[in-house]
Amino acid sequence: MEGATLLLALLGLLDLQPVTGWSSRHLSLRRQIRGQHKRQPPQNITLAVILPQSNTHYPWAWPRIGPALERAVRTINADPTLLPDHHLTYAFKNSEDKKGICSESIAPLMAVDLKLAYDPWAFIGPGCSYTSSPVGLFTTHWDVPMVTAGAPAVAFYGGGYPSITNTGPTHRKLGKFALRICEHFGWREHVMLMFSDNKVDDRPCYFAVEGLYTELKSINITLEDRVFEEKKPINYSQILSDIQNDSRVMFVCCSPDVFRKLMVHFRRANLPHEQYVFFHIDVFGESLNSKHRQPWAHGDEDDAIAKDAFQNVKILTYREPQNPEYREFVNNLKTDAKMMFNYTIKDSLMNIIAGGFYDGLMLYTHALNETMSTSGTRPPGKDVTKRMWNRTFHGVTGLVHLDENGDRETDFALWDMIDTNTSAFQVNTHAGTHQLTAVPGTDLHWLGGVRPPDVPVCGFKNDNPICLASQWSEPTCWIFKLRLSLCCRRMKLEKELVAQLWRITWEDIQMSNLDKVLRSGSRMTLSLRGSNYGSLMTGDGNLQVFAKTGYYKGNITAIKYTNRKRIELNRKILFELKHMRDVQNEHLTRFIGACIDPPNICIITEYCPRGSLQDILENDSITLDWMFKYSLINDIVKGMLFLHNSVIFSHGKLKSSNCVVDNRFVLKITDYGLSSFRSESDTGKDAHAYYAQRLWMAPELLRMECPPPQGTQKGDVYSFGIILQEVALRRGAFYLEGDPLSPKEIVDRVILGEWPCLRPTMDPQSHSPELGQLMQRCWAEEPTERPEFNHIRLLLRKQNKESRTNILDNLLSRMEQYANNLEELVEERTQAYHEEKRKAEALLYQILPHSVAEQLKRGETVQAEAFDSVTIYFSDIVGFTAISAESTPCHGMRKINTGPFFTVVISQKRPR
């Protein structure tokens, strides 16, 4: 090649005159040189790639982008129509520093090294904004095209970096999307931009909000900006104060965890929540990566309030391409990344960046191919760049359109909690730069039913002139309305107190008679028939007897007598009785009324025929699997959670005997409220039952001389922990392994507070470790260390996955278990009946002749038999008196019983 070229040069030097024709020698030499050109190997076109090598938190990290570029290079080299007689290859350099962070000092050095070593035709990358800036300046100086799907900052748009072509999403396009949202909803006056900025690394939120700031300023919207650092303690109260004083429409860019904390604080604040809307800038959808698209759900105690708070939230993300080529590309990307880097790529919007690099390299190749087809040699970089701009083509990420400045038009998505029942987020609107497109069948959800205005009617400081005119009259009106409302409420309350709707006279209660009691069964709480008596503890503290029942208005009710001889109806007791009527929950026994007619002072409540939880646990014939146990435990938690959030506030006497089960196997809590009405006496403090009933009482209450009769909420949690141990082990309340202690000894040692504290024995084989940890937390010595019931409910929900099954399946399972218990009881009773019947028949046959006994068994009258002639035989035993005197009674009877034997012998020997 070099020799032929040198020869031509020499010929040119020798032939100084114009040549009008070629000699045969010249033509032969020309053909020879052309043949050598055809046989030459393809020329290499080297690309320089600068990307972060190991930090996969970057969406443009080499393990994410390398497989896409490798596949693009193979595709280009395999296409004979692209770059004929040329072979595409690339050289890679790392843009990270020693800490794995994009370095604006290292990246340009790598670019210089690549330029000197390979003289690349184009640069691919970098991705980070800070590293792309110096490399972009170098490529502009060298007149080498730079293609990237990163570098999203607004500064790259325009004429400052004419060599850069961006085939990925940019923040300027994100700003245009936010602008279309504000214009669509009529927010043209006031918007707040909040973002986290640690001022290190690539500052993604800073550059994202910069895009919004640039575009929203173009329509003269007043912008307020607030910056906070996530690595430092965040003053959420100050942020909420700024929001209240300065804005109603917020665009927020921060991590999903910080944003959720902000929304929880917002929901807890005393603000008109329906007047605010938050747009979370989460371009890669990190908050939506959960299975059910519930960014508020973290599985902690704040889930409920976060769920309500996220009704004010819309989320801005990139829109994932919907074309089949993209899905195939992602599948290939996963396979190649695993093979090339042993790196697992998950489904994420970050894969759009890899698709952007792939499309960028394909775009550059086509532009270079078109430019070389006219020039024949390596063209200037600016000519290739010019062919890439203002162009549209189909790539793996869908339809790719680059504008006149070399930036790609990006499709964005707006996510919203459209269905508040599922509380899942879904796409409501998507858009490119020019218009918003609503997803059919979806409507944006606004907390107040309508979109909030960007400025309150009276202004942020109530200084709107429209509102100033009524400034003096409006407070007076509100005060009048408030006083009128209070007066009406007070009159209604007084009317209810005077009406005494809770009052029941003793004559209205029909007591169960003795026949009903006897027919109802004795102590079987889950037997064939429900007993008319509910279970209560007896004097020894262990056995149960049955509470009195009666009929009120045709319905059977439970009657709880008090030890009060007389009730003075003061306002405190009247309020307690009214509150009892107001409290209604499916896991609390319904309060029907009270009788205050001496001596029959009692409380009438809903009757639960299945008995108490204590009865069920102490009945060994009842089999309880853990699904059933968890169902009972969850019923307690639901009832106590409602009770703690009601006006009753706490129980004070929570124990297994105060948890009863109704016909539907729903556990209900009883004996709550009416602390003044019940007022327990101090007599019998040395009795066994007195201490047995205090096994569930919290240590801090036991140490008080006069504990509050209504107890405390933390004391109820302690009692619940003791019940948990009862349910798990089924060995009674406060079971201790080893030498049993009396209830008095247990209570005394709990009061003493010795270390380690005396607590019931746990058996890891009888329950899960998580349930054991929950028990220990519930009966912690320090009340503040005990969890609340809303937290207990979440912990139990995690432990018991079966509780999420269909409620009908759960109920059918309960009924099946109950039926199995009944079958065992019926079979046992049937066997006992047959055994007694056999004994009775044997005795009957001994007393009466067989024929007579059979007639009696059939219920027939015994008919007398008639004979024509009969022989009557009289027998006397000679010497019977003397024999009886000489023998004992038993010995004498044996001698008499040998009489038939001698008779048989005589009859056989007697001659006929």
Going 368 to 372 to 378 to 379, the CA torsion angle's sign is negative
Whole-angstrom distance, CA of residue 523 vs CA of residue 530:
10
Query: Is residue 532 classed as helix, strand or coil in its secondary structure?
Result: coil
- Residue 254's pLDDT band, with cuts at 50, 70 and 90, is very high
The whole-angstrom distance between residue 555's C-alpha and the CA centroid of its chain comes to: 41
Q: What is the pLDDT of residues 544-574, one digit of tens each?
A: 445 688 899 888 899 988 888 788 888 888 8
pLDDT above 90: percentage of residues in the chain: 45
Shortest CA distance to 572 belongs to which of 652, 677, 501? 677
Identify residue 446 by its one-letter amino acid code.
W
Task: Give me the pLDDT at residue 899, please.
Answer: 62
Asked whether residue 723 carries a pLDDT value surpassing 50, the answer given is: yes
The answer to whether the beta carbons of residues 127 and 51 sit under 8 Å apart is: yes
Neighbours of 96 (CB within 10 A): 21
d(CA 751, CA 543): 25
439 secondary structure, DSSP code: P
In the prediction, which pLDDT does 5 show?
39
Other C-beta atoms within 10 Å of 1: how many? 10
> Taking the CA atoms of the chain, what radius of gyration do you get in angstroms?
46
Residue 515 pLDDT > 90, yes or no?
A: no
Do the beta carbons of residue 151 and residue 145 sit within 8 Å? Answer: no
pTM: predicted TM-score of the whole model, two decimal places: 0.52
Q: Which residue's structure tokens are 């707040």? A: 192
pLDDT of residue 757: 87
* Per-residue confidence band for 182, with pLDDT thresholds at 50, 70 and 90: very high
Q: Cβ–Cβ contacts within 10 Å for residue 371, how many? A: 20
Q: What is the pLDDT of residue 12?
A: 38
User: Could you give the strand order of the β-sheet that contains 549-552, starting from the edge strand earlier in sequence?
Assistant: 509-511, 549-552, 555-561, 600-606, 591-597
Residue 94: its pLDDT value, please? 97
Per-residue confidence (pLDDT) for residue 686, from 0 to 100: 56
**What is the CA angle 699-703-709, rounded to 5?**
85
pLDDT of 454 over the 80 cut: yes
Task: Work out the average pLDDT over 684-705.
Answer: 84
Q: Do 95 and 131 form a contact (C-beta atoms < 8 A)?
A: yes
pLDDT of residue 214: 93
Please tell me the distance from the alpha carbon of residue 902 to that of residue 896, in angstroms, as a whole number.
11
| Angstrom distance (rounded) from CA 112 to CA 109 | 5
Pairing outcome for strands 222-228 and 190-196: parallel
Q: Chain-wide mean pLDDT for the chain? A: 83
Residues 379-387: contacts with CB within 8 Å, 24+ apart?
Answer: 380/143, 381/122, 381/139, 381/142, 381/143, 381/144, 381/145, 381/163, 382/143, 382/162, 382/163, 384/122, 384/145, 385/145, 385/162, 385/163, 385/165
- The tens digit of pLDDT for each residue in 798-820 reads 887 655 544 456 666 666 666 66
- Pick the most confident of 200-209, 406-415, 704-713: 406-415
- Mean predicted confidence (pLDDT) in 786-790: 92
Q: What is the predicted pLDDT for the residue at 358?
A: 98
Mean pLDDT, residues 504-524? 58
| Cα–Cα distance, 36 to 8 (Å, whole number) | 14
For residue 139, give the nearest of 405, 380, 402 by alpha carbon: 380
580-610: burial string, b at 16+ Cβ within 10 Å, e else = beebeeebbbbbbbbbbeeeebbbbbbbbbb
Interior angle at CA 532, CA 527 and CA 533, nearest 5 = 95
- Rounded CA-CA distance 412/180 in Å is 11
Nearby residues of 643 by Cβ (< 8 Å), 6 or more positions away? 583, 585, 588, 649, 650, 651, 669, 672
Q: Determine if the peptide bond prior to 599 is cis (ω within 30°).
A: yes
- On the question of pLDDT at 355 being above 60, the answer is yes
Please determine, for residue 685, whether its predicted confidence score (pLDDT) is greater than 60. Answer: no
| Cα 498 to Cα 514: distance, rounded to the nearest angstrom | 38
CA distance 56 to 125: 15
Instruction: List, for residues 186-219, the tens digit of each pLDDT value.
Output: 898 888 999 898 777 889 999 999 999 999 998 8
Check whether 386 has a pLDDT greater than 70: yes
Write down the pLDDT at residue 907: 54
Please provide the DSSP assignment of 120-154 as one string: -SEEE---SHHHHHHHHHHHHHHT--EEES----G
Pairing between strand 509-511 and 549-552?
antiparallel
What is the number of other CB atoms lying within 10 angstroms of the CB of residue 662? 16
- CA 234 – CA 203 distance, rounded (Å): 18
Q: Are 549 and 533 in contact (CB under 8 A)?
A: yes
Q: pLDDT for 285-318, tens place per residue?
A: 999 987 788 999 998 999 999 999 999 999 999 9
Q: 132 vs 537, which has greater pLDDT?
A: 132
Task: Assess whether pLDDT exceeds 50 at residue 174.
Answer: yes
The token pair that represents 738 in the structure block: 């080893």
With a CB cutoff of 8 Å and minimum separation 6, the contacts of 569 are: 596
Number of neighbouring beta carbons within 10 Å of residue 710: 20
Strand arrangement, sheet containing 146-148: 86-94, 43-51, 122-124, 146-148, 164-166
Question: Is 60 exceeded by the pLDDT of residue 33?
Answer: no
Per-residue model confidence (pLDDT) at position 497: 64
Q: Does the pLDDT value for residue 517 go beyond 60?
A: no
DSSP conformational letter for 218: T
Outline where DSSP puts E strands in 357-507.
391-395, 398-402, 412-419, 424-431, 436-438
Q: What's the full length of the chain, in residues?
A: 912
Residue 467: per-residue pLDDT: 66
| Whole-number pLDDT of residue 513 | 53
Instruction: Convert the pLDDT of each residue in 90-145 to its tens digit.
Output: 999 999 999 999 999 999 999 999 999 999 999 999 999 999 999 999 999 999 99
**Pairing label, strands 534-537, 549-552:** unpaired
